[in-house]
Amino acid sequence: MRTDWWNRAESWRFWLGTEIRFGPSIRNEIVRLAASAGKRIFLVGYASPSPLDPLYETLVEQLQNEGFDVQVFFKVTGEPASSLAIEGYELASRIAPEVILGVGGGSVLDTAKAIAYQIRTGICVDRVLGGMVERKSPRADLEGDSDPPGMPVRLILMPTTPGSGSEVTEVTVLGGEFSSQDCPGPIPVKWVLSSSRLRADVAILDPEVMKACPNDLLYRSAIDALSHAVESAYSRAANPMSFMCAAQALRILCHVIPRLEEGTIDLGLCGGLAVAGMLGGMALNTAGAGVAHALAHGLGAVLGLPHAEAIAVALPQAIRFNRAEAQNQLATLAEVAGICQSLTEQEAAAKLEEWIWAVTDRVGRLARNRYHLSSLDENTRSLIARSAEASSILPLRLNPRRVRFEDLLQLSSAIVSEGETSPGS
C-alpha cells in the first residue's frame, strides 16, 4: 500500500462529536433520544405532498403521545436558500425548542442545521453571510462576537436518503446571491457555511427508511457519496484518518453501485449506502472538498441542477484536471479500496479515473439532456464559473492543483459539452 503522501503532514486532527445510531428500525429510538433534552421539539421536513408524509405523520403521533410539544416546519422543497433558514429560525424562536429534529435528504438536514446554528448562537445567517463576503472566509463562527449567546438545543438528524453525509458534518449549504464588481448583476451562489455549531448531537441511520427510495434516487445518492470520498482523499487537508474513511466509503460503493445498476434494492444494499455516505461525510468534514464541489455549486446556483447531478458532470472533469497533482492519492485510494492491485501508480490512478467516468455517466447524461447543457452560451458558462469562485472559497483552497478563474471557465465549458474533453487531458 502506498503511504508516502501521508508524510507531508507533520500534524493533523480528526474529530467527530456526533453520536451515530445505526440499524433497521433504529428510528424508533427518536422519542427516547429527544426526551433526554426536553419536551419542546421542532421538526423539519419536506413540504407536502411528499413521499415522506406517512413517516412524518407517524413521528408526530409518536412524539405527541409521549407528551412532546411538536412544532413542524415542512417547507423544504429543494436545495435550501438562506431565506428559508431564516424563516425556520424565526418560527422556532417563538417556541424556544429544546430539540430540533431534521428528517429527510441533505436539503432538509442542511436546513435543520442552519436553524440550529441560529438558535445556538442567536445570530441570523444573513449577518453571517455578510461577514463571509467581507472576510472572504467560509467560516460561520464569529469568535469573540459581542452579541449574547443563543440557547442550547439538541440537534438530531435522520437522513432518509444515503449519500449527502450531512448528518455528520459541520457544514451547511444555502443558496443566495453575491454582488461583484466583475459582474453587472447579482451572482447566484451556494454558500458553504462551516461551524462547530452546525454539528448534530445524534445521527440516526435506518436502512429500512432508505429502502423506500427508488433506484434512481439511490444511484444519485451513491454518486454524491463517491464525490465526497474522492475529493476528500486528494484534498490538501487530508490525513490518515480522513483518508481511511474515504477509502472504506469507496470500497463499499464499489460493491453496491453494480447492484444498483442491476436494479437491486434490499436492506443490505441500503445499509451499505448509508454507511458509505456517513464515512464520506466524516472524511469530508475533516479534509473538505475540491474543485468538483465548487463547480457543482456553480451549476446548482445558476442552472438549478440538483447537487448529485451537478457532481456527476463535474467530478470526472475535476479528476482529470487534478490528475498530475493527485496521482499518488488516487492510486492509493484505488489500491486501498480494492479496485486494483499490482499496478503502477499511474495505471492505478488511471483505472480509478476510468471507473468514475463510467459510473457517473448514467446521471451525467441525464443532467446534460434535462438542462440542455450543450446549448449554454458563453455568458452563462462565465456566470457558472463566477458562482463557483464566489461560492466555494475553501474547496478551491484545498484542491490539490491551484485553481484560477480561467481554469473554472475552461472546466465549465468542458462540463457543459459532451464531456469528452477537459483541461489537462
Q: In this predicted structure, what is the pLDDT of residue 339?
A: 81
**Among the listed ranges 23-27, 161-165, 167-171, 414-418, which one has the minimum average pLDDT value?**
414-418
pLDDT (tens digit per residue) in 184-224: 678 898 888 888 999 999 999 999 999 999 999 999 999 99
User: Residue 286 to residues 174, 205, 228, 316: CA-CA distances in angstroms?
Assistant: 20, 20, 11, 22
Q: In this predicted structure, what is the pLDDT of residue 134?
A: 53
Q: In this predicted structure, what is the pLDDT of residue 425?
A: 44
Band of the pLDDT at 4, cuts 50, 70, 90?
low
pLDDT (tens digit per residue) in 344-374: 999 999 999 999 999 999 999 888 888 888 8
**Among the listed ranges 65-74, 202-211, 256-265, which one has the minimum average pLDDT value?**
256-265
More confident residue, 16 or 67: 67
Which of 30-39, 184-193, 389-398 is the most confident on average? 30-39
Q: With a cut of 60, say whether residue 139 has pLDDT above it.
A: no
Domains of the chain as residue ranges with CATH = 26-205 (3.40.50.1970), 214-416 (1.20.1090.10)
Band of the pLDDT at 97, cuts 50, 70, 90?
very high
Q: With a cut of 60, say whether residue 140 has pLDDT above it.
A: no
pLDDT (tens digit per residue) in 369-389: 888 888 888 899 999 999 998
pLDDT (tens digit per residue) in 313-331: 999 999 999 999 999 999 9
**3-class DSSP state of 201:** coil
Give the pTM. Answer: 0.92
Percent of the chain with pLDDT over 90: 70
User: What radius of gyration do the chain's Cα atoms show?
Assistant: 21
**pLDDT, mean over the chain:** 89
Q: With a cut of 50, say whether residue 142 has pLDDT above it.
A: no
Which of 17-26, 143-152, 186-195, 391-400 is the most confident on average? 17-26
User: Residue 64 to residues 40, 67, 204: CA-CA distances in angstroms?
Assistant: 10, 5, 20
Q: In this predicted structure, what is the pLDDT of residue 360?
A: 95
Q: With a cut of 80, say whether residue 63 has pLDDT above it.
A: yes
What angle do the packed helices 291-303 and 307-321 form, to 10 degrees?
Answer: 140
Q: With a cut of 90, say whether residue 51 has pLDDT above it.
A: yes
Q: In this predicted structure, what is the pLDDT of residue 421?
A: 43
Q: With a cut of 90, say whether residue 153 has pLDDT above it.
A: yes
Q: How far is residue 346's CA from residue 71's CA, in Å, rounded to a whole number?
A: 55
Percent of the chain with pLDDT over 70: 90
Q: How far apart are the first and last CA of the chain?
A: 27
DSSP 337: T
Contact 382, 277 (CB under 8 A): no
